[in-house]
Structure 1
Amino acid sequence: MSKRFVSIGECMIEMSGGEDRQYRLGYAGDTLNTAWYMRALLEPDWSVDYFTALGEDRYSADIRAFLEQHRIGTKHIGTIKNRRPGLYLIHQEGGDRHFTYWRDQSAARLLAEDKGALHVALEGASMVYFSGITLAILQPRARGRLLGAVVVAREAGATVVFDTNLRPALWTSQRVMASMLTAAASLCDIVLPTHGDEAPVFGDRSVEETAERYLELGVGEVVVKDGGNPALVATATERVKVAPPPAGSVVDATGAGDSFNGAYLSARLAGKGLQEAAEAAHRVAGIVIGQKGALVDPALLS
């Protein structure tokens, strides 16, 4: 069996900090963050590839170099003329983080334009990962192309994983968002929703209701995250609730859910059971929230 993980989505330029109007440039994005933690936690014989689209500008080149430096494959990243990476700025206000985005001309919005390249990128993958944000930034027909490629990969033997990652501001309406995410989840083997995001949209009164809704779609394994509360891992025959360890100081919660996903999935690929995988996921997320930025030094995770 091939050992290849492919993550699909948008890598953005991140400007963080903001003290005295001084910002630090980095790179992040939900699906990139998860790929980062998969690369850090999987055995070396696994390959981790990132599928997106970038431009021809210096920052696109820098992103490619950054990924390659950290052993994340860039072979299938598309190049879109006259487009650039999206950008977001994090600033602190009232004790909380606020995000401002510039992504209208993001090259990643066109990542699914070339149907052939999309299918080639997923060929031979043993696990394919994407998110609700991946779908949200695409035009409707491109969403169809992406989901079609995901179905082909699944039929060829890939495990397909979906983090619903609801971002209402990226969608034309809540109805479109809910229906699209539900349709996508029905094509997947593992779904990783966050209860606090799902409840206002779907009316879930508990993590159990969130899990059951996805199980009824035919999803084989559902991991419901719930912030600092216990996560629920559910299959058709098993329910496991796993509480996080006692929390230390929270420095920056950016990327916590994405790191949880990466740690959970890498543990499952290593043959760990539901309980042990969720425990590993909580442990890694706990480390990440104690550091600045979405991508922490892999040496801190061992």
Structure 2
Amino acid sequence: MKLVSIGECMVELSGAGADLWRSGFAGDTLNTAWYARALLPADWTVDYLTAIGNDPLSERMLRFIAGAGIGTGGIRRHPSRVPGLYMIELQDGERSFTYWRDNSAARTLADDPAWLKGALADADVIYVSGITIGILDDAGRANLWAALSGARAKGRQVVFDPNLRPRLWPDGDAMCRATTETARLADIVLPSHDDEAQWFGDASVEATAERYLALGASEVLVKNGGAEMVLAEGGTIRRLPAMERVKPVDTTGAGDSFNGGYLAARLTGAPAEQAVRRGHEIAMQVVGHPGALMPMADLA
């Protein structure tokens, strides 16, 4: 079985002291692939699909991804672009970001529809996020939608985290339209209610679940900032009790790691509520660790 995660890996700069910065690699869909790889059994393959450059930093990125046991056969090269970069600043465990990604090679990952179709040909599960669709131009986004539609028509499962990021879009309406179009192609949707309420006007966590069910999803888990979540599956919508909370060291990657834990459990047959608990356990560990990617060997 094979999970393919699609998106942008970036260079991450995080604080290492006064005016000192530590570099690493991360990105929302890579983060989820990382935690899924750590938690899925060996008979699952996890690949990352993106575009990188031909520069030394891209070479380091490629070695880093491969060194984590994540397949790199879906990574294409761009002759002149380079990886994007972001800087994390922390205050009381909460992070803010500054981005440099206009020349990111990942923005071209869906430029070649034939290559994209081939890269997804043997995927059993495909994972995308709102950032994946947000970094693409209109043509690339249309190519990705066509590839997802074709894969789903062949029985592949599509998982979508809307991960709404308005700074990637010309305006909120464009973001909401593209999010809705992508959700129409998804089997599992993993939205966060605070973002959905702000941009779609959802009055409750149930309203968020109902909207994505109406678009065709068979399973929707509405995350809710540590409060009660809503799980919709099998024609029913039910609230799940709030779970334990911890004081974070760094919340970077919390939602991505939750998704990785949830998917790893669901894809290996765990009931949805058990998968929610597993995702929460992983996220609690990750927020106690600086940076988006916790060493796989340290996960319990």
TM bucket by the smaller chain?
over 0.9
Report how far residue 297 of structure 1 moved.
Answer: 1.5
Which amino acid in the other structure matches residue 95 of structure 2?
A: R
Which amino acid in the other structure matches residue 201 of structure 1?
A: W
User: Unpaired runs of 5+ in structure 1?
Assistant: none
Report how far residue 19 of structure 1 moved.
Answer: 2.6
Question: Within the alignment, does 1:229 sit opposite 2:223 as a pair?
Answer: no
CA distance in 2, matches of 1:110, 1:246: 40
Which amino acid in the other structure matches residue 103 of structure 2?
A: Q
Q: Which residue is equivalent to 1:299? A: 297
Structure 1 length as normaliser, TM-score?
Answer: 0.96
The 5-angstrom pairing of residues 49-68 of structure 1 reads 49-68=47-66
Which amino acid in the other structure matches residue 284 of structure 1?
A: I
CA distance in 2, matches of 1:236, 1:202: 24
Which amino acid in the other structure matches residue 107 of structure 1?
A: A
Report how far residue 25 of structure 1 moved.
Answer: 0.4
User: Unpaired runs of 5+ in structure 2?
Assistant: none
CA distance in 1, matches of 2:91, 2:16: 10
Distance 1:246 1:166, change over 3 A: same
CA distance in 1, matches of 2:37, 2:120: 17
Q: Which residue is equivalent to 1:156? A: 154
Distance 1:98 1:223, change over 3 A: same
CA distance in 2, matches of 1:100, 1:259: 21
Which amino acid in the other structure matches residue 260 of structure 2?
A: G
CA distance in 2, matches of 1:244, 1:64: 39
CA distance in 2, matches of 1:246, 1:215: 28
Q: Which residue is equivalent to 1:176? A: 174
Q: Which residue is equivalent to 2:103? A: 105
Q: SS at the partner of 1:252?
A: coil
Distance 1:187 1:95, change over 3 A: closer
Report how far residue 241 of structure 1 moved.
Answer: 2.9
Q: Which residue is equivalent to 1:141? A: 139
Q: Which residue is equivalent to 1:282? A: 280
Report how far residue 90 of structure 1 moved.
Answer: 1.0
Which amino acid in the other structure matches residue 269 of structure 1?
A: L
Which amino acid in the other structure matches residue 133 of structure 1?
A: I
Aligned residues: 300
Q: Which residue is equivalent to 1:44? A: 42
Percent identity (aligned): 50
Q: SS at the partner of 1:64?
A: helix
Contact map agreement 2:7 2:106 (CA 8 A) in 1: yes
Report how far residue 230 of structure 1 moved.
Answer: 2.2
Computed over aligned residues only, the root mean square deviation of the Cα atoms, in angstroms, reads 1.3
Q: SS at the partner of 1:25?
A: strand
The 5-angstrom pairing of residues 1-302 of structure 1 reads 3-17=1-15, 19-92=17-90, 96-302=94-300
CA distance in 2, matches of 1:239, 1:282: 20
CA distance in 2, matches of 1:186, 1:76: 24
CA distance in 2, matches of 1:185, 1:47: 25
Distance 1:84 1:43, change over 3 A: same
CA shift digits 1:108-147 (9 cap, x unpaired): 0000011111011101111000011001110011100001
Structure 2 length as normaliser, TM-score?
Answer: 0.97
Q: SS at the partner of 1:165?
A: coil
CA shift digits 1:80-126 (9 cap, x unpaired): 01110000011235874221100000000000011111011101111
Contact map agreement 1:242 1:279 (CA 8 A) in 2: no
Report how far residue 279 of structure 1 moved.
Answer: 0.9
CA distance in 2, matches of 1:151, 1:288: 33
Find runs of 4+ consecutive structure 1 residues off by over 4 angstroms: 93-96
CA distance in 1, matches of 2:144, 2:51: 13
